[in-house]
């Protein structure tokens, strides 16, 4: 996905590299070739660069899974896509292909109820995107995408299933886009009640509450943690800003054709 910062961070892309990417600096993932977080690929971290057309990355992910299978590598590919992307032809072709060849891949659909200004009901006539899995011949799982303790075991089970030769799984994470599509979008088309309902399901607050209830976190622990993150981000920003713009003489580097 083009905006999956959580996934990027979990795979080991540092805030410094992500910020340097935004600033178009050499320290960014594309080494200053653009200033966009679309396409932040780094194969050393197992991240394939995103392709801006949705969901054109999905068949590439299936291709990676096919390569793992052909080479006998015990690896599993994870492909992330949105509810809007799930209605595109390539999504159907990819899921069908992955199932026919029993590829080690997990398809994670982040159903955040909107694709730009298009609500779910205007682009599909089913309740659960995961229900489509039956038509491809793979397991389909619906999870509360705002609950860490629902998402983690579901993905873990699907990865284990894929790794043991069981083929692909489609996981639909139900969530909500809490801002406009981008900064220009005031999302006047989103009913305020819907937003208020999802506000109550904030995944970070829920995770915090879980830790508090079990005595694993208290007010001091939380403020120490937030301060530490703030300091880390300030330092990452300073290093990203200190990174130079690329030397124009390198413009043709990494161009293959």
Ligand X SMILES: Cc1ncc(C[n+]2csc(CCOP(=O)(O)OP(=O)(O)O)c2C)c(N)n1
Residue 82 interacts with ligand X (CB under 6 A)? yes
Residue from 53, 179, 205, 228 in contact with ligand X (CB under 6 A): 53
Structure-token pair, residue 210:
């879980």
Question: Which residue of the set 38, 181, 206, 239 is catalytic?
Answer: 181
As measured in angstroms, the least distance from the Cβ of 175 to ligand X is 9
Residue 155 interacts with ligand X (CB under 6 A)? no
Using CB under 6 A as the binding rule, the residues of this chain from 113 to 132 that contact ligand X are: 114-116
| Residue carrying structure tokens 């793992």 | 68
Q: Is 118 helix (H, G, I), strand (E, B) or coil?
A: strand
**Span between the terminal Cα atoms of the chain, in Å:** 26
Residue 140 interacts with ligand X (CB under 6 A)? no
Binds 169, which of ligand X, Mg ion, none (CB < 5 to 8 A, cut-off by type)?
none
Using CB under 5 A as the binding rule, the residues of this chain from 75 to 104 that contact Mg ion are: 82-83
Q: Choose the stretch contacting Mg ion; rule: CB under 5 A; options: 71-79, 105-113, 119-127, 219-227.
A: 105-113
Give CA–CA dist 94/109, Å, rounded: 13
For residue 78, what are the contacts with CB-CB under 8 A and spacing of at least 6?
61, 105, 106, 108, 155, 159
As measured in angstroms, the least distance from the Cβ of 194 to ligand X is 14
Structure-token pair, residue 149:
């303790």
The reply to whether 92 belongs to the active site is no
The reply to whether 116 belongs to the active site is no
Task: Fill in the per-residue mask, 215 to 254: x = in contact with ligand X (CB under 6 A), - = not in contact.
Answer: ----------------------------------------
Select 39 or 166, whichever has its Cβ closest to ligand X.
39
Structure-token pair, residue 250:
């390198």
The reply to whether 189 belongs to the active site is yes
HSE at residue 50, side-chain half, CA atoms within 13 A, is 20
Contact 129/136 with Cβ under 8 angstroms? Answer: no
For residue 79, what are the contacts with CB-CB under 8 A and spacing of at least 6?
57, 58, 61, 62, 94, 105, 106, 107, 108
Q: Is 42 helix (H, G, I), strand (E, B) or coil?
A: strand
Q: Choose the stretch contacting ligand X; rule: CB under 6 A; options: 12-20, 68-76, 81-89, 186-194.
A: 81-89
Question: Which residue of the set 22, 116, 152, 189 is catalytic?
Answer: 189
As measured in angstroms, the least distance from the Cβ of 216 to ligand X is 31
Check whether the bond before 174 is cis (ω within 30° of 0). no
Residue 85 interacts with ligand X (CB under 6 A)? yes
Give CA–CA dist 131/120, Å, rounded: 15
Which residues are 143's β-sheet partners? Answer: 173
Residue 179 interacts with ligand X (CB under 6 A)? no
Interface ranges with ligand X (CB under 6 A): 52-54, 82-85, 110, 112, 114-116, 177
Interface ranges with Mg ion (CB under 5 A): 82-83, 112, 115
Cite the active site residues.
177, 181, 189
């Amino acid at each position: 996905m083009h905006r999956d910062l959580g996934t990027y961070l979990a795979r080991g892309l540092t805030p410094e590299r992500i910020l340097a990417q935004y600033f178009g600096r050499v320290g960014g993932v594309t080494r200053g070739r653009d200033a966009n977080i679309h396409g932040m690929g780094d194969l050393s971290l197992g991240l394939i660069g995103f392709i801006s057309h949705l969901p054109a990355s999905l068949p590439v992910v299936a291709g990676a899974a096919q390569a793992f299978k052909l080479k006998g590598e015990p690896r599993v590919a994870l492909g992330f896509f949105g509810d809007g992307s799930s209605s595109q032809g390539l999504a159907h072709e990819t899921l069908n292909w992955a199932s026919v060849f029993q590829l080690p891949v997990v398809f994670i659909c982040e159903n955040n109820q909107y694709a730009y200004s298009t609500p779910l009901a205007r682009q599909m006539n089913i309740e659960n995107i995961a229900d489509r899995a039956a038509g491809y011949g793979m397991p389909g799982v619906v999870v509360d995408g705002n609950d860490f303790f629902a998402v983690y075991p579901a993905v873990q089970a699907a990865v284990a299933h894929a790794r043991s030769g069981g083929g692909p799984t489609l996981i639909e994470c139900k969530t909500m886009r809490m801002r406009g599509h981008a900064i220009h979008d005031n999302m006047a088309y989103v009913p305020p009640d819907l937003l208020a309902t999802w506000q109550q399901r904030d995944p970070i607050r829920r995770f915090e509450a879980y830790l508090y209830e079990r005595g694993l976190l208290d007010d001091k622990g939380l403020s120490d943690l937030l301060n530490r993150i703030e300091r880390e981000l300030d330092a990452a920003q300073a290093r990203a800003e200190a990174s130079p713009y690329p030397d124009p003489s390198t413009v043709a580097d990494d161009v293959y054709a």
